[in-house]
Amino acid sequence: MNINIRRAVKEDCPRLMELIHELAVFEKAPDEVTVPMEHFVESGFGANPVWWAFVAETSATADSPATVYGFALYYVRYSTWKGQRLYLEDLLVSEAMRGQGLGKLLFERVLEEAKEKKYSGMVWQVLDWNEPAINFYKKYNAVISDEWMNCTIDLSSE
């Protein structure tokens, strides 16, 4: 199977949203995805994009079209201690394609992007019960902290 890692384009957004919903189901939060498609598209491909992504796509064959099976979506975060850092919001490979090396290809492409842009590092979150992901990140000598707690305020319902 031939896999191509490329930058996401606007036309990928419907498939990205399908994969985001798959991720929400995997993370046991299927009803938490509330972003409208129009907002998602505008946020990535409008006049002032705030996110970027790479996709893992199979090559088209005579029998099937090219298909996106994974993505890595990121944005720039600023640390007052470290400067600009790449924040990896989501890394997902569709369940049908896990174990084929797509996650490794996507993760390494995002690392390459951080190096190319001369960011001081890369940060992300992983659920404490997601042992396969934790073990994957440990292969890259990632530091997984248990001292910081997540905080959020939902303003969408006000």
Domain range summary for the chain, segments of one domain joined by +: 3-138
Nearest to 45, CA basis, from 87, 10, 71 = 10
Spans of the chain, pLDDT less than 70: 157-158
CA angle 48, 106, 49 (to 5 degrees): 5
pLDDT of residue 153: 86
Does residue 60 contact residue 66 with C-beta atoms inside 8 Å?
yes
Nearest to 45 by CA among 16, 81, 80, 18: 16
Q: What is the pLDDT of residues 79-102, one digit of tens each?
A: 999 999 999 999 999 999 999 999
Q: What is the pLDDT of residue 158?
A: 61
What is the rounded radius of gyration, in angstroms, for the C-alpha atoms of the chain?
16
Three-state secondary structure call for residue 17 = helix
* 119 assigned to active site: no
Q: What's the start-to-end Cα distance of the chain, in Å? A: 48
Question: Top-level CATH class of 3-138?
Answer: alpha beta
What is the reported pLDDT for 146?
Answer: 87
Per the residue annotation, which of 69, 75, 78, 137 is the catalytic one? 137
Q: What is the pLDDT of residue 157?
A: 65
The side-by-side arrangement of strands in the sheet containing 83-93 is 3-7, 52-58, 67-79, 83-93, 122-124
Residues 26/126, Cβ–Cβ less than 8 Å: no
What pLDDT is recorded for position 34? 95
Rounded to 5 degrees, φ, ψ at 59 are: -75, 150
Please report which residue ranges of 7-153 form alpha helices under DSSP H. 13-26, 37-45, 102-116, 131-138
